[in-house]
Amino acid sequence: MSQPRIVVTRRIPQPALDLLAEHGDVWLSPHDRPLTREELFDAVKGADAIVCLLHDQIDDEVLDAAGPRLKVIANVAVGYNNVDTEAIARRGTVWFTNTPAVLTEATADIAMALILMATRRLGEGERVIRSETPWVWSMFYMLGAGIQGKTLGIVGLGLIGQATARRAKAFGMEIIYSGRRQADPAIEQELGARYVSFDELLETADVVSLHCPLNAETKHLIDAARLQQMRSDAFLINTTRGPVVDEQALVDALKAGEIAGAGLDVFEEEPTVNPGLLELENAVLIPHLGSATIETRTAMGVLAATNAVAVLGGEEPPTPVVRVG
């Protein structure tokens, strides 16, 4: 009997490739870049499993190109705004999985790092040194905002939001949060977190950190009006997905001093960054590094491979988003 065809759209860590190779014929993209649409259509032809990345748009066209053997699509990411889950569910024959939980701590580290970088002006400070700009210590030189005793507003207290809150609490911050539903009382108690309306969160938090998924409801959740609601000494942190923030509105708000600063790991049109942001000293900008540790990327790859292999073996995958049957 022929081996299942497993298509991997871009290189993932070797332990994940090894696991897949034990269970099928792996086709791995030879390119160190996202596949073009045409290349993706060609690659998935006759696939039993597709292991894809966050830059691959998975929709009806890709499902059609794959054909009737397709049983599972395993996204190597927790976020899946790149995938048309309704189109997959309509087929009724294809599982879809993501990689929750394994990147929680790494992403929360980056959120906390951005909170510290933005409030303490670390990017700006590094630019002074690297550009050999003259500087001398003084009582009033490059003062930032302390975070001890300040309020962190978490938008979406899921796993990453909770892990960020835990870190911020250790730095002496008070935690408030908003979201579609109130968290378990045990979690609220552990974090000392208070559930508030989105309006109250924006109006009172010293730092607003975004942890909600990107979907039709959260696209441009932070727009010009929402930015105006924030305090003029507040900071916005985004480690979820770029389009949750209207980037041009953010540039305008930062320029006008409507908020004090921002720390961004994600952008609306990655890898392009709004040129307005590049000119701003009060914006800390890093290139989507949330899950970028060797350990985390390996765990993500292995979880995605485990999901694919489980379905190919006729079992339920560990972390399904769209189920079959």
Among 79, 123, 261, 263, binds ligand DGY (CB under 6 A): 79
Given the complex with ligand DGY, which of 78 and 251 has the nearer CB atom?
Answer: 78
What is the C-alpha to C-alpha distance for residues 321 and 216, in angstroms, rounded to an integer?
Answer: 17
| Smaller CB separation from ligand DGY, 203 or 270 | 270
* Known catalytic membership, residue 270: yes
Convert residues 26-55 into a mask of x (bound to ligand DGY by CB under 6 A) and - (unbound).
----------------------------x-
> Does the annotation mark 288 as catalytic?
yes
DSSP 80-98: -TTB-HHHHHHHSS-EEE-
Q: What are the distances in angstroms from CA 232 to CA 31, 126, 202, 204, 237?
A: 45, 24, 11, 11, 15
Q: Is the link from the previous residue into 271 a cis peptide, with omega within 30 of 0?
A: yes
Closest CA to 99 of 74, 70, 71, 81: 74
**Of 66, 70, 103, 321, which lies in the binding site for ligand DGY, with binding defined by CB under 6 A?**
103
Binding-site string for ligand DGY from residue 274 to residue 293, where x marks contact by CB under 6 A and - marks none: ----------------xx--
Tokens matching residue 11: 């290189």
Least distance in angstroms from the C-beta of 239 to ligand DGY: 8
Q: Which of 74, 78, 83, 283 binds ligand DGY (CB under 6 A)?
A: 78
The secondary element (H helix, E strand) that includes residue 7 is: strand 5-8
DSSP state of 33: S
Closest CA to 62 of 13, 269, 52: 52
Span near ligand DGY by CB under 6 A; candidates 77-85, 155-163, 278-286, 308-316 = 77-85
229: CB partners within 8 A, 6+ apart: 199, 202, 203
Shortest CB 290 distance to ligand DGY, Å? 5
77 makes contact with ligand DGY (CB under 6 A): yes
Q: What are phi and psi of 44, to 5 degrees?
A: -80, -10
* CB-nearer residue toward ligand DGY: 106 or 230: 106
Which of 23, 241, 247, 297 is the catalytic position?
241
The reply on whether position 113 binds ligand DGY by CB under 6 A is no
Which residues participate in catalysis according to the annotation?
241, 270, 288
Catalog residues that contact ligand DGY under the rule CB under 6 A: 54, 77-79, 103, 290-291
